[in-house]
């Protein structure tokens, strides 16, 4: 008898269900758990109040990232509240025997950058973290998603959470990307089509030529942004690109264990006749470099397009008008040529080596625009090292830029890296919500290429004009 065809998502999900509760969620086993300083302290407090411990400390990894300064990391953290959270993470990790990569540790960095780069993230795993961009790890064919603090406490104490199984959506992008179009643009394009609620209730599988030929860094950028279309997560079937990336990484399986793992990983794909609850297909040729003009990631357009009219978009006119007012923009205006004040390149969306290579490819031989402040923040110490070793730092310096130290930085502006009220920032991060990058800040989300073009011209500029 032949088995019913199943999707990649089904295969990974179903093999992690410990118990099914009738008219309720699944008791869902978690292979790897990442924690950081902001969403874990109250969970540890909960364990103490209940008098329970951590069931499998070896399955959890702690890194400090959200709250950390991006200059002078060798000095004590000045903000007492931030310092307190960092200390809590360190103490809780030590107390329960959890591996901890704090400030100054050579493996420290943004949680969704360090997991993959150390080989912790592997195909077929279930991975959670108290951070919504945990979806990043889906690039390896893992089921990965963000959880709340109550759930962090559940994972610490039982290595499980209670989850109803989401519906399944497949998004295909076929053809090949045009010049200057990056994985970030693909994701912003999809979100602009789906809106920020378009995939709520679904888990997405990305398929088609574009993702097949994409690097692991690019796949991580795309899966990272799944949450911005409302999906809990997104995943891409593992293939040779995935295996090559993982081979030899510290926590990846070695020797015989590698061969065994590889045999399993190769089974992780959607069967031919498997059915999805929703399926969408786009053509790569439709996509140009993207930029957002509003206050959610769905408010994006091709860089050469005009801001739409309120009457032409789905959803409430009042909400749309509120967003444009906040941004200081008008309907049917061009984005090209708008003056900008800040450029931020970094975050778990675009803080990997490939992103800095892209950035450098444009600024090489040019100078930073005088009125622009640029924050260039690597996703991890390992990325920082690569930036130095590949000569990217020299290019940055020659153009008048400085490199900061790793962390989340202006992505959520919990540390000192805040965009001032009213200022415009072209940012490679993931959210352009009101005040996300500091109270009153105005964010234009874009790719590293668009960010680089803005950094050297001081205006929203089509990066294709600066590429040979």
Partner 1 sequence: MAYDKFTVLKSSAVPLPIENVDTDQIIPARFLKATKREGFGDNLFRDWRYNADNSPKADFVLNNATYSGKILVAGKNFGSGSSREHAAWAIYDYGFRCVVSSFFADIFKGNSLNIGILPVTVSPEFLEKIFAAIQKDPKTELEVNLDKQTITLLSTGEHESFQINGYKKHNLMNGFDDIDYLQSMKSEIVEFAKNKV
CA–CA separation, 407 vs 243, rounded Å?
27
- Smallest separation (angstroms) from partner 1 to the CB of 422: 11
CA–CA separation, 378 vs 346, rounded Å?
6
Query: For residue 271, how far is the Cα from the chain centroid?
Result: 28
Q: Can you count the helices (H) and strands (E) in the chain? A: 16, 18
Interface residue with ligand SF4 among 154, 324, 399, 412 (CB under 6 A) is 412
Interface residue with partner 1 among 31, 185, 384, 417 (CB under 8 A) is 31
Window 313-352: contact mask with ligand SF4 (x via CB under 6 A): ----------------------------------xx----
Q: Are 279 and 170 in contact (CB under 8 A)?
A: yes
CA–CA separation, 338 vs 355, rounded Å?
23
Q: Any contact of residue 110 with ligand SF4 (CB under 6 A)?
A: yes
CA distances for 68 relative to 104, 110, 173, 405, 411, angstroms: 11, 10, 37, 9, 12
Q: Any contact of residue 131 with ligand SF4 (CB under 6 A)?
A: yes
CA–CA separation, 402 vs 82, rounded Å?
24
Q: Any contact of residue 39 with partner 1 (CB under 8 A)?
A: yes
Interface residue with partner 1 among 10, 27, 266, 271 (CB under 8 A) is 27
- Smallest separation (angstroms) from ligand SF4 to the CB of 50: 28
**Burial per residue of 384-404, b for 16 or more beta-carbon CB atoms within 10 angstroms, e otherwise:** bebbeeeebbebbeebbbebb
Map the footprint of partner 1 across residues 112-151, applying CB under 8 A: 122, 125, 130-132, 134, 146-151
Q: Any contact of residue 421 with partner 1 (CB under 8 A)?
A: yes
CA–CA separation, 206 vs 220, rounded Å?
11
Q: Are 294 and 432 in contact (CB under 8 A)?
A: yes
CA distances for 177 relative to 174, 180, 283, 387, angstroms: 9, 8, 9, 26
**Block residue for tokens 């961009």:** 133
Q: Any contact of residue 112 with ligand SF4 (CB under 6 A)?
A: yes
Q: Which is nearer to partner 1, 201 or 308 (CB)?
A: 201
Stretch that binds ligand SF4, among 147-155, 208-216, 249-257, 407-415 (CB under 6 A): 407-415
Q: Are 290 and 447 in contact (CB under 8 A)?
A: yes
- Smallest separation (angstroms) from ligand SF4 to the CB of 321: 28
Interface residue with partner 1 among 41, 115, 119, 289 (CB under 8 A) is 41
Which does residue 110 bind out of partner 1, ligand SF4, none, counting CB within 5 to 8 angstroms by kind? Answer: ligand SF4
Map the footprint of partner 1 across residues 274-313, applying CB under 8 A: 296
Q: Which is nearer to partner 1, 132 or 457 (CB)?
A: 132
Q: Are 227 and 197 in contact (CB under 8 A)?
A: no
Which does residue 347 bind out of partner 1, ligand SF4, none, counting CB within 5 to 8 angstroms by kind? Answer: ligand SF4
CA distances for 387 relative to 214, 247, 347, 378, angstroms: 21, 22, 15, 8
Q: Any contact of residue 154 with partner 1 (CB under 8 A)?
A: yes
Instruction: Extract the tokens encoding 251.
Output: 């926590």
Q: Which is nearer to partner 1, 48 or 389 (CB)?
A: 48
60, containing H or E segment = strand 60-63
Q: Which is nearer to ligand SF4, 237 or 377 (CB)?
A: 377
Q: Any contact of residue 66 with ligand SF4 (CB under 6 A)?
A: yes
Q: Which is nearer to ligand SF4, 227 or 399 (CB)?
A: 227
- Smallest separation (angstroms) from partner 1 to the CB of 112: 13
Window 431-460: contact mask with partner 1 (x via CB under 8 A): x-xxxx--xx--------------------
CA–CA separation, 134 vs 223, rounded Å?
9
Q: Which is nearer to partner 1, 413 or 446 (CB)?
A: 413
Which does residue 278 bind out of ligand SF4, partner 1, none, counting CB within 5 to 8 angstroms by kind? Answer: none
Q: Are 108 and 69 in contact (CB under 8 A)?
A: no
Q: Are 379 and 354 in contact (CB under 8 A)?
A: no
Q: Are 366 and 456 in contact (CB under 8 A)?
A: yes
Q: Any contact of residue 104 with partner 1 (CB under 8 A)?
A: no
- Smallest separation (angstroms) from ligand SF4 to the CB of 131: 5
Instruction: Extract the tokens encoding 386.
Output: 């690569």
Window 213-242: contact mask with partner 1 (x via CB under 8 A): -----------------x-x----------
* Residues in touch with ligand SF4 (CB under 6 A): 65-66, 110-112, 131, 133, 347-348, 408, 411-412, 429-430
């Amino acid at each position: 008898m032949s088995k019913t065809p199943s999707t990649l998502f089904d295969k990974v999900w179903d093999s992690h269900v410990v118990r099914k509760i009738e008219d309720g969620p699944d008791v869902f086993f978690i292979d790897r758990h990442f924690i950081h300083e902001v969403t874990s302290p109250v969970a540890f407090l909960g364990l103490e109040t209940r008098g329970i411990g951590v069931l499998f400390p070896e399955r959890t990894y702690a890194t400090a990232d959200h709250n950390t300064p991006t200059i002078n990391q060798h000095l004590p953290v000045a903000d007492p509240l931030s310092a307190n959270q960092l200390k809590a993470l360190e103490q809780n990790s030590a107390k329960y025997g959890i591996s901890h990569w704090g400030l100054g540790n050579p493996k420290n960095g943004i949680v969704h950058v360090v997991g993959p780069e150390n080989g912790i993230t592997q195909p077929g795993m279930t991975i959670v973290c108290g951070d919504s961009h945990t979806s990043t790890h889906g690039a390896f064919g893992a089921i990965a998603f963000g959880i709340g603090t109550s759930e962090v406490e559940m994972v610490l104490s039982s290595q499980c959470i209670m989850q109803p199984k989401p519906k399944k959506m497949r998004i295909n992008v076929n053809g090949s990307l045009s010049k200057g179009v990056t994985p970030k643009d693909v994701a912003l394009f999809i979100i602009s089509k789906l809106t920020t609620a378009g995939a709520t209730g679904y888990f997405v599988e990305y398929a088609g030529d574009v993702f097949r030929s994409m690097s692991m860094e690019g796949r991580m950028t795309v899966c990272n942004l799944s949450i911005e279309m409302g999906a809990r997560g997104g995943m891409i079937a593992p293939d040779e690109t995935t295996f090559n990336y993982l081979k030899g990484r510290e926590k990846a399986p070695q020797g015989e264990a590698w061969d065994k793992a590889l045999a399993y990983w190769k089974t992780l794909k959607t069967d031919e006749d498997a059915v999805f609850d929703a399926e969408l297909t786009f053509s790569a040729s439709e996509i140009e470099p993207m930029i957002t003009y509003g206050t959610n990631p769905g408010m994006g357009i091709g860089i050469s397009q005009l801001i739409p009219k309120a009457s032409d978009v789905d959803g409430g006119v009042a909400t749309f008008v509120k967003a444009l007012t906040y941004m200081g923009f008008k309907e049917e205006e061009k984005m090209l040529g708008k003056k900008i004040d800040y450029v931020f390149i970094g975050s778990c969306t675009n803080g990997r080596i490939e992103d800095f290579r892209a950035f450098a490819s444009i600024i090489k031989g040019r100078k930073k625009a005088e009125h622009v402040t640029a924050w260039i923040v690597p996703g991890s110490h390992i990325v920082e090292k690569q930036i130095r070793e590949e000569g990217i730092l020299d290019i940055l310096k020659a153009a008048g830029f400085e490199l900061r130290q790793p962390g989340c930085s202006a992505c959520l502006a919990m540390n000192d890296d805040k965009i001032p009220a009213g200022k415009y920032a072209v940012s490679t991060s993931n959210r352009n919500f009101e005040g996300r990058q500091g109270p009153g800040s105005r964010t234009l989300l874009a790719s590293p290429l668009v960010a680089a073009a803005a950094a050297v011209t001081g205006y929203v500029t089509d990066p294709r004009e600066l590429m040979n």
